[in-house]
Amino acid sequence: MTGAVFTFVLLLGNVLRDVLPLLLNQQATLGMIAMAFCLLIPWIWVFALPMGMLTATLLVFGRFSADQELTASRASGVSLVSLITPILLLSLVLCGVSAAVNLEIAPRCRVAFTDLRNDMKTSMVNLKLPEKQFLDFPGFTIWIDKNHKDTLETVLIFQGETNTQATIQAPSGTIERDETNQVILVHLHDATVVFESTGRPMFSSNIVVPLNYGNLQKASTNVSITDMTFTELQEKLRETERRLGSPLNVKPRSSEDPNKKKIASKKRPADPAEPIRVEIQKRVAFSVAPFSFALLGIPLGIRAHRRETNIGIAITLVLVGIYYSVIFTMLSFSARAELMPHLLIWLPNFVFQAAGAVLLWRANRGL
Protein backbone atom coordinates (compact mmCIF):
# COMPACT_ATOMS: atom_id res chain seq x y z
CA MET A 1 0.00 0.00 0.00
CA THR A 2 2.78 2.45 0.90
CA GLY A 3 4.53 1.65 -2.38
CA ALA A 4 1.32 2.43 -4.28
CA VAL A 5 0.96 5.75 -2.45
CA PHE A 6 4.51 6.83 -3.27
CA THR A 7 4.05 5.65 -6.86
CA PHE A 8 0.96 7.82 -7.22
CA VAL A 9 2.60 10.90 -5.67
CA LEU A 10 5.79 10.65 -7.75
CA LEU A 11 3.83 9.81 -10.88
CA LEU A 12 1.62 12.85 -10.38
CA GLY A 13 4.68 15.09 -10.11
CA ASN A 14 6.19 13.75 -13.34
CA VAL A 15 2.90 14.02 -15.19
CA LEU A 16 2.40 17.63 -14.11
CA ARG A 17 5.92 18.44 -15.29
CA ASP A 18 6.15 16.51 -18.58
CA VAL A 19 2.66 15.65 -19.78
CA LEU A 20 0.18 18.24 -18.52
CA PRO A 21 1.68 21.16 -20.54
CA LEU A 22 1.26 19.11 -23.73
CA LEU A 23 -2.35 18.34 -22.81
CA LEU A 24 -3.10 22.02 -22.14
CA ASN A 25 -1.48 22.94 -25.46
CA GLN A 26 -3.79 20.47 -27.20
CA GLN A 27 -0.80 18.44 -28.33
CA ALA A 28 -1.84 15.13 -26.77
CA THR A 29 -4.87 12.88 -26.91
CA LEU A 30 -6.25 10.96 -23.94
CA GLY A 31 -4.81 7.77 -25.40
CA MET A 32 -1.34 9.31 -25.45
CA ILE A 33 -1.77 10.47 -21.86
CA ALA A 34 -2.75 6.96 -20.75
CA MET A 35 0.27 5.50 -22.55
CA ALA A 36 2.52 8.10 -20.90
CA PHE A 37 1.18 7.05 -17.48
CA CYS A 38 2.02 3.40 -18.16
CA LEU A 39 5.53 4.21 -19.41
CA LEU A 40 6.33 6.44 -16.42
CA ILE A 41 5.35 3.89 -13.75
CA PRO A 42 8.47 1.65 -14.07
CA TRP A 43 10.71 4.72 -13.84
CA ILE A 44 8.84 5.80 -10.69
CA TRP A 45 9.29 2.36 -9.14
CA VAL A 46 13.05 2.96 -8.99
CA PHE A 47 12.33 5.30 -6.08
CA ALA A 48 8.89 4.15 -4.91
CA LEU A 49 9.82 0.53 -4.06
CA PRO A 50 12.60 1.38 -1.55
CA MET A 51 10.54 4.21 -0.05
CA GLY A 52 7.53 1.95 0.33
CA MET A 53 9.63 -0.75 2.01
CA LEU A 54 11.10 1.73 4.49
CA THR A 55 7.74 3.28 5.36
CA ALA A 56 6.09 -0.12 5.83
CA THR A 57 8.79 -1.36 8.22
CA LEU A 58 8.70 1.86 10.25
CA LEU A 59 4.91 1.83 10.58
CA VAL A 60 4.55 -1.90 11.31
CA PHE A 61 7.34 -2.20 13.87
CA GLY A 62 6.53 1.18 15.43
CA ARG A 63 3.00 -0.03 16.11
CA PHE A 64 4.34 -3.47 17.09
CA SER A 65 6.56 -1.91 19.73
CA ALA A 66 4.02 0.68 20.92
CA ASP A 67 1.40 -2.02 21.59
CA GLN A 68 3.91 -4.03 23.67
CA GLU A 69 3.65 -6.94 21.25
CA LEU A 70 7.43 -7.15 21.05
CA THR A 71 7.60 -7.64 24.82
CA ALA A 72 4.94 -10.34 24.61
CA SER A 73 6.84 -12.11 21.84
CA ARG A 74 10.03 -12.12 23.86
CA ALA A 75 8.15 -13.45 26.89
CA SER A 76 6.89 -16.28 24.68
CA GLY A 77 10.43 -17.19 23.68
CA VAL A 78 10.28 -15.73 20.15
CA SER A 79 13.41 -13.74 19.33
CA LEU A 80 13.50 -10.57 17.32
CA VAL A 81 15.63 -12.27 14.67
CA SER A 82 12.88 -14.83 14.07
CA LEU A 83 10.30 -12.08 13.74
CA ILE A 84 12.23 -10.02 11.20
CA THR A 85 13.52 -12.87 9.02
CA PRO A 86 10.41 -12.93 6.75
CA ILE A 87 10.64 -9.14 6.38
CA LEU A 88 14.28 -9.32 5.35
CA LEU A 89 13.50 -12.10 2.89
CA LEU A 90 10.71 -9.95 1.42
CA SER A 91 13.17 -7.07 1.06
CA LEU A 92 15.54 -9.36 -0.87
CA VAL A 93 12.68 -10.29 -3.20
CA LEU A 94 12.03 -6.58 -3.72
CA CYS A 95 15.73 -6.15 -4.48
CA GLY A 96 15.33 -8.65 -7.32
CA VAL A 97 12.26 -6.81 -8.62
CA SER A 98 14.05 -3.49 -8.26
CA ALA A 99 17.06 -4.85 -10.16
CA ALA A 100 14.88 -5.95 -13.06
CA VAL A 101 13.23 -2.52 -13.13
CA ASN A 102 16.45 -0.50 -12.72
CA LEU A 103 18.60 -2.45 -15.14
CA GLU A 104 16.24 -3.17 -18.02
CA ILE A 105 12.57 -2.23 -17.72
CA ALA A 106 12.80 1.42 -16.58
CA PRO A 107 15.41 2.52 -19.18
CA ARG A 108 13.42 0.99 -22.03
CA CYS A 109 10.21 2.64 -20.79
CA ARG A 110 12.01 5.96 -20.38
CA VAL A 111 13.21 5.90 -23.99
CA ALA A 112 9.70 4.95 -25.15
CA PHE A 113 8.24 7.79 -23.07
CA THR A 114 10.69 10.28 -24.63
CA ASP A 115 9.68 9.11 -28.10
CA LEU A 116 6.00 9.39 -27.18
CA ARG A 117 6.47 12.89 -25.77
CA ASN A 118 8.20 13.98 -28.98
CA ASP A 119 5.35 12.45 -30.97
CA MET A 120 2.93 14.53 -28.90
CA LYS A 121 4.87 17.67 -29.75
CA THR A 122 5.01 16.95 -33.47
CA SER A 123 1.57 15.43 -34.13
CA MET A 124 -0.47 18.53 -33.34
CA VAL A 125 2.12 21.18 -34.09
CA ASN A 126 1.77 20.33 -37.77
CA LEU A 127 -1.90 21.28 -37.59
CA LYS A 128 -1.94 24.52 -35.61
CA LEU A 129 0.45 26.43 -33.37
CA PRO A 130 -1.37 26.96 -30.06
CA GLU A 131 -2.32 30.41 -28.86
CA LYS A 132 -1.06 32.07 -25.67
CA GLN A 133 1.34 29.23 -24.95
CA PHE A 134 5.13 28.98 -25.08
CA LEU A 135 6.23 26.27 -27.51
CA ASP A 136 9.82 25.05 -27.67
CA PHE A 137 11.63 24.15 -30.87
CA PRO A 138 15.35 23.49 -31.45
CA GLY A 139 16.94 26.92 -31.06
CA PHE A 140 13.67 28.85 -30.70
CA THR A 141 10.79 29.44 -28.28
CA ILE A 142 7.64 30.98 -29.78
CA TRP A 143 4.59 32.65 -28.22
CA ILE A 144 1.52 33.65 -30.27
CA ASP A 145 -1.34 35.78 -29.05
CA LYS A 146 -3.78 34.80 -31.83
CA ASN A 147 -3.65 32.26 -34.64
CA HIS A 148 -6.54 32.33 -37.10
CA LYS A 149 -6.03 29.98 -40.04
CA ASP A 150 -2.25 30.44 -39.95
CA THR A 151 -2.55 34.23 -39.75
CA LEU A 152 -0.75 35.35 -36.61
CA GLU A 153 -1.14 38.35 -34.36
CA THR A 154 1.42 39.54 -31.79
CA VAL A 155 4.25 37.05 -32.15
CA LEU A 156 7.16 36.80 -29.72
CA ILE A 157 10.18 34.57 -30.47
CA PHE A 158 13.24 33.92 -28.32
CA GLN A 159 16.32 32.60 -30.13
CA GLY A 160 18.82 30.42 -28.25
CA GLU A 161 19.01 26.99 -26.61
CA THR A 162 19.97 27.77 -22.99
CA ASN A 163 20.64 31.52 -23.07
CA THR A 164 18.57 33.96 -25.10
CA GLN A 165 20.66 35.36 -27.97
CA ALA A 166 17.97 37.48 -29.59
CA THR A 167 14.35 38.48 -29.06
CA ILE A 168 12.07 38.91 -32.07
CA GLN A 169 8.71 40.66 -31.81
CA ALA A 170 6.21 41.29 -34.58
CA PRO A 171 2.60 42.53 -34.65
CA SER A 172 1.62 40.06 -37.38
CA GLY A 173 2.82 37.10 -39.39
CA THR A 174 1.89 34.05 -41.41
CA ILE A 175 2.79 30.38 -41.39
CA GLU A 176 4.11 28.23 -44.23
CA ARG A 177 4.68 24.50 -43.78
CA ASP A 178 7.35 22.37 -45.41
CA GLU A 179 6.17 18.85 -44.64
CA THR A 180 9.00 17.26 -46.63
CA ASN A 181 11.70 18.77 -44.40
CA GLN A 182 9.39 18.96 -41.35
CA VAL A 183 9.89 22.70 -40.98
CA ILE A 184 7.39 25.44 -40.12
CA LEU A 185 8.37 28.77 -41.71
CA VAL A 186 7.07 31.71 -39.70
CA HIS A 187 7.00 34.91 -41.78
CA LEU A 188 7.04 37.96 -39.50
CA HIS A 189 6.02 41.38 -40.77
CA ASP A 190 7.41 44.68 -39.41
CA ALA A 191 9.49 42.78 -36.88
CA THR A 192 11.78 44.18 -34.19
CA VAL A 193 14.93 42.21 -33.35
CA VAL A 194 16.93 42.88 -30.18
CA PHE A 195 20.29 41.08 -29.83
CA GLU A 196 21.36 40.42 -26.25
CA SER A 197 25.01 41.19 -27.06
CA THR A 198 24.32 44.77 -28.17
CA GLY A 199 20.88 45.54 -26.77
CA ARG A 200 20.07 47.70 -29.77
CA PRO A 201 16.83 47.11 -31.68
CA MET A 202 16.82 46.39 -35.40
CA PHE A 203 13.78 46.65 -37.66
CA SER A 204 12.88 44.49 -40.63
CA SER A 205 9.83 44.41 -42.85
CA ASN A 206 9.98 40.62 -43.28
CA ILE A 207 11.80 37.94 -41.26
CA VAL A 208 11.50 34.19 -41.80
CA VAL A 209 12.07 32.00 -38.73
CA PRO A 210 12.41 28.23 -39.42
CA LEU A 211 10.94 26.01 -36.72
CA ASN A 212 12.26 22.48 -37.28
CA TYR A 213 9.89 20.05 -35.57
CA GLY A 214 11.60 17.07 -37.22
CA ASN A 215 14.60 17.53 -34.93
CA LEU A 216 12.37 16.81 -31.94
CA GLN A 217 12.09 13.21 -33.07
CA LYS A 218 15.73 12.94 -34.18
CA ALA A 219 16.95 14.00 -30.74
CA SER A 220 15.46 10.89 -29.16
CA THR A 221 17.69 8.63 -31.25
CA ASN A 222 20.75 9.80 -29.29
CA VAL A 223 20.11 7.94 -26.05
CA SER A 224 22.06 9.22 -23.04
CA ILE A 225 23.74 6.83 -20.61
CA THR A 226 21.01 7.49 -18.04
CA ASP A 227 18.45 5.97 -20.44
CA MET A 228 20.55 2.95 -21.48
CA THR A 229 19.87 -0.56 -20.26
CA PHE A 230 22.45 -2.40 -18.16
CA THR A 231 23.55 -4.44 -21.18
CA GLU A 232 23.96 -1.32 -23.29
CA LEU A 233 25.96 0.37 -20.53
CA GLN A 234 28.34 -2.58 -20.29
CA GLU A 235 28.83 -2.58 -24.05
CA LYS A 236 29.47 1.18 -24.09
CA LEU A 237 31.95 0.82 -21.22
CA ARG A 238 33.88 -1.88 -23.09
CA GLU A 239 33.88 0.22 -26.26
CA THR A 240 35.07 3.33 -24.40
CA GLU A 241 37.84 1.45 -22.61
CA ARG A 242 38.89 -0.13 -25.90
CA ARG A 243 39.16 3.29 -27.52
CA LEU A 244 41.12 4.67 -24.58
CA GLY A 245 43.55 1.76 -24.85
CA SER A 246 43.96 2.17 -28.61
CA PRO A 247 47.50 3.03 -29.82
CA LEU A 248 46.00 6.05 -31.58
CA ASN A 249 45.29 7.58 -28.15
CA VAL A 250 48.86 7.13 -26.88
CA LYS A 251 50.68 10.45 -27.11
CA PRO A 252 54.29 10.34 -28.34
CA ARG A 253 57.09 11.56 -26.14
CA SER A 254 58.22 15.10 -26.68
CA SER A 255 61.21 17.09 -25.56
CA GLU A 256 59.42 19.45 -23.19
CA ASP A 257 60.63 21.20 -20.10
CA PRO A 258 60.60 18.63 -17.24
CA ASN A 259 59.29 21.28 -14.86
CA LYS A 260 56.24 21.76 -17.06
CA LYS A 261 55.68 18.00 -17.06
CA LYS A 262 55.62 17.93 -13.26
CA ILE A 263 53.06 20.71 -13.17
CA ALA A 264 50.89 19.04 -15.81
CA SER A 265 51.08 15.68 -14.06
CA LYS A 266 49.27 17.08 -11.05
CA LYS A 267 46.11 17.44 -13.16
CA ARG A 268 44.74 14.05 -14.08
CA PRO A 269 42.90 14.04 -17.39
CA ALA A 270 39.19 13.29 -17.32
CA ASP A 271 38.31 9.63 -17.80
CA PRO A 272 35.45 9.30 -20.33
CA ALA A 273 34.67 5.83 -18.98
CA GLU A 274 34.12 6.97 -15.38
CA PRO A 275 30.59 8.39 -15.87
CA ILE A 276 29.57 5.06 -17.37
CA ARG A 277 31.03 3.15 -14.41
CA VAL A 278 29.18 5.48 -12.05
CA GLU A 279 25.89 4.92 -13.88
CA ILE A 280 26.34 1.12 -13.75
CA GLN A 281 27.13 1.16 -10.02
CA LYS A 282 24.22 3.54 -9.39
CA ARG A 283 21.77 1.10 -10.98
CA VAL A 284 23.05 -1.79 -8.87
CA ALA A 285 23.16 0.33 -5.68
CA PHE A 286 19.56 1.44 -6.22
CA SER A 287 18.59 -2.22 -6.57
CA VAL A 288 20.00 -3.00 -3.10
CA ALA A 289 18.17 -0.05 -1.49
CA PRO A 290 15.06 -2.04 -0.36
CA PHE A 291 17.24 -4.33 1.79
CA SER A 292 19.22 -1.39 3.22
CA PHE A 293 16.04 0.50 4.07
CA ALA A 294 14.40 -2.56 5.65
CA LEU A 295 17.47 -3.35 7.75
CA LEU A 296 17.52 0.19 9.13
CA GLY A 297 13.77 0.73 9.27
CA ILE A 298 13.02 -2.22 11.56
CA PRO A 299 15.11 -1.08 14.57
CA LEU A 300 14.17 2.57 14.01
CA GLY A 301 10.50 1.62 14.10
CA ILE A 302 11.04 -0.26 17.36
CA ARG A 303 12.91 2.65 18.89
CA ALA A 304 10.38 5.22 17.67
CA HIS A 305 7.72 3.32 19.66
CA ARG A 306 4.91 5.34 18.08
CA ARG A 307 1.54 4.45 16.60
CA GLU A 308 1.15 7.65 14.57
CA THR A 309 1.51 7.28 10.81
CA ASN A 310 2.86 10.80 10.34
CA ILE A 311 5.92 10.01 12.50
CA GLY A 312 6.83 7.06 10.27
CA ILE A 313 6.36 9.11 7.11
CA ALA A 314 8.49 11.94 8.54
CA ILE A 315 11.34 9.54 9.37
CA THR A 316 11.03 8.03 5.89
CA LEU A 317 11.36 11.40 4.20
CA VAL A 318 14.42 12.29 6.28
CA LEU A 319 16.19 8.98 5.59
CA VAL A 320 15.28 9.01 1.90
CA GLY A 321 16.53 12.58 1.63
CA ILE A 322 19.86 11.61 3.18
CA TYR A 323 20.23 8.49 1.06
CA TYR A 324 19.50 10.06 -2.33
CA SER A 325 21.32 13.33 -1.58
CA VAL A 326 24.53 11.36 -1.03
CA ILE A 327 23.89 9.34 -4.19
CA PHE A 328 23.35 12.43 -6.34
CA THR A 329 26.36 14.14 -4.77
CA MET A 330 28.49 11.23 -5.92
CA LEU A 331 26.93 11.54 -9.38
CA SER A 332 28.12 15.15 -9.54
CA PHE A 333 31.68 13.83 -9.14
CA SER A 334 31.35 11.38 -12.02
CA ALA A 335 33.97 13.28 -14.04
CA ARG A 336 36.47 13.15 -11.16
CA ALA A 337 37.95 9.69 -11.69
CA GLU A 338 40.60 10.23 -8.99
CA LEU A 339 37.84 10.28 -6.35
CA MET A 340 36.51 6.90 -7.54
CA PRO A 341 32.84 7.96 -7.43
CA HIS A 342 31.78 4.57 -8.82
CA LEU A 343 32.82 3.08 -5.46
CA LEU A 344 31.74 5.99 -3.24
CA ILE A 345 28.23 5.68 -4.62
CA TRP A 346 27.86 2.57 -2.45
CA LEU A 347 28.50 4.60 0.73
CA PRO A 348 24.80 5.15 1.65
CA ASN A 349 24.05 1.42 1.39
CA PHE A 350 27.04 0.48 3.55
CA VAL A 351 26.20 3.13 6.18
CA PHE A 352 22.49 2.19 6.32
CA GLN A 353 23.24 -1.53 6.54
CA ALA A 354 25.92 -1.07 9.20
CA ALA A 355 23.71 1.22 11.29
CA GLY A 356 20.76 -1.15 10.90
CA ALA A 357 22.84 -4.18 11.94
CA VAL A 358 24.10 -2.41 15.07
CA LEU A 359 20.63 -1.17 16.04
CA LEU A 360 19.14 -4.64 15.45
CA TRP A 361 21.81 -6.22 17.63
CA ARG A 362 21.04 -3.74 20.41
CA ALA A 363 17.28 -4.21 20.03
CA ASN A 364 17.64 -8.00 20.13
CA ARG A 365 19.55 -7.69 23.41
CA GLY A 366 16.97 -5.30 24.81
CA LEU A 367 19.40 -2.35 24.94
Q: Which pairing describes strands 140-148 and 151-159: parallel, antiparallel, or unpaired? A: antiparallel
Domain segments of the chain: what residues? Answer: 2-124+271-364, 134-212
Long-range contact set of residues 95-99: C-beta below 8 Å, sequence gap at least 24: 95/287, 95/288, 95/289, 95/290, 95/291, 97/49, 98/45, 98/46, 98/49, 98/50, 98/286, 98/287, 98/289, 98/290, 99/284, 99/287
Per-residue pLDDT in tens (0 to 9) along the chain, 367 residues = 666 777 777 777 776 666 666 666 555 667 777 787 788 888 888 888 888 888 888 888 888 877 777 778 777 777 788 888 888 999 999 999 999 998 989 888 888 887 777 666 555 555 567 777 777 777 888 888 888 877 888 988 888 876 778 888 999 999 887 767 778 888 999 999 988 888 888 888 888 888 876 655 554 455 678 888 888 888 888 887 776 664 444 444 444 555 544 444 444 445 677 888 888 888 999 899 999 998 988 888 887 766 666 777 788 888 888 888 888 887 887 767 777 888 888 999 999 999 989 988 888 776 5
* pTM for this predicted structure: 0.64
